Amino acid sequence: MKRRIAALLMMLALTGSCGTAGAETALLADLLRSVDYGDGVTYVIGHKSPDADTIGSAIAYAWLLQQLGINARPAAAAEVNRETRYALDLFGMAQPEILTDAAGKQFILVDHSEYSQALDGMKDARVVGIVDHHGIGDVRNTQRIPVLSLPAGAAASIVYRMYLDCGVEIPRDMARVLLMAVLSDTKGMNSNVTQLDREAVDALRVIAEISDIGALYAGMKAAKASFEGMTVSEIFHSDYKEYTAGAVTFGVSSVYTEAEESLAELAEKIEGEFPSLYAQDGQDLLFCLISTDETSWMIWYGEGAEQAVRESFPEYDGSGRMIFVPKASRKENIVPPLTAALENWER
Ligand SMILES: [Mn+2]
């Protein structure tokens, strides 16, 4: 009963503070509130190897849900990557609490919807919502929960839209982490961009009070490309995702470097460590996409990995590495053909 009253008060407060929030715009807020969240905390969390979109979406979506009277808290599956840390430091904001085991807890997932990319133990957790831009994963809950997936360059662009649809004003700090997130996933609005991302960035840059988004993204990119003091395993895992296709599991790392001349050096280093990375990750196949702004090199490891490349990329020349010009996107150019090829394999 107390919760109900608190929610009603919150609704009144929102309606009072935001004159434009009419009956139509409050519909999504009502639907989000209608879920049975129980008495405990609901963690809002993104995927493993957290990137800027995963972190920005978790922080901003948890904040939105808090405004709706929901006991939501942002969380992360690991330390944030360098790009994200750079931006959060710049904004004077803290990284979310790090969780190591999902079992027994309650979650809303952002920026992923597959168990293979979720915090360990997620199959033994309760998932009460999903906001994603990667299609539909295998996370299950047969109860009535809000699941929102849209064709967007970043999950954060969807979260931005949800603020509008809930009639909740976006504060400066939330605009900043959302902007950080969209710029990261769209490579500075140069990749995977949809109309939703454009609308989000146009609005967010004003609220965030960040006039030069090019400079913000350049700083993030430079931080990401700095491998100083990092082991090869840390470089490989700084942006690493795991997938399942039929009976085959595979991991794909994406490494960004600013300098063309570092491509060969990085490829050699990672190839040298592949046996131990392979043992560590427990996947059937490993791939690594090393990119500059212009080009990508793909390298791989594991029995059948080269065969998978042959089947997925008919243009592969058999040289042991594959070069993409212009650069390739893991999400757009690498994972879909690999998945399609590997789905027919028997193991
Ligand atoms: Mn994303």
What domains does the chain contain, in order, with CATH numbers?
A: 2-219 (3.90.1640.10), 232-342 (3.10.310.20)
d(Cα 123, Cα 335) in Å, to the nearest integer? Answer: 23
Rounded to the nearest angstrom, the distance between the alpha carbon of 8 and the centre of ligand 1 is 33
Going residue by residue through the chain (347 aa), what tens digit of pLDDT does each one get?
A: 344 444 444 444 444 344 344 444 589 999 999 999 999 999 999 999 999 999 999 999 999 999 999 999 999 999 999 999 999 999 999 999 999 999 999 999 999 999 999 999 999 999 999 999 998 999 999 899 999 999 999 999 999 999 999 999 999 999 999 999 999 999 999 988 999 999 999 999 999 999 899 999 999 999 988 888 899 999 999 899 999 999 999 999 999 998 888 899 999 999 999 999 999 999 999 999 999 989 999 999 999 999 999 999 999 999 999 999 999 999 999 999 999 999 999 86
Rounded to the nearest angstrom, the distance between the alpha carbon of 236 and the centre of ligand 1 is 18
Rounded to the nearest angstrom, the distance between the alpha carbon of 109 and the centre of ligand 1 is 12
pTM, rounded to two decimals: 0.80
**Sign (positive or negative) of CA dihedral 134, 136, 142, 143:** positive
d(Cα 41, Cα 83) in Å, to the nearest integer? Answer: 28
User: Residue 146's Cα: distance from chain center in Å?
Assistant: 18
pLDDT reported for residue 25: 52
Helix (H) or strand (E) holding 221: helix 213-225
Rounded to the nearest angstrom, the distance between the alpha carbon of 54 and the centre of ligand 1 is 6
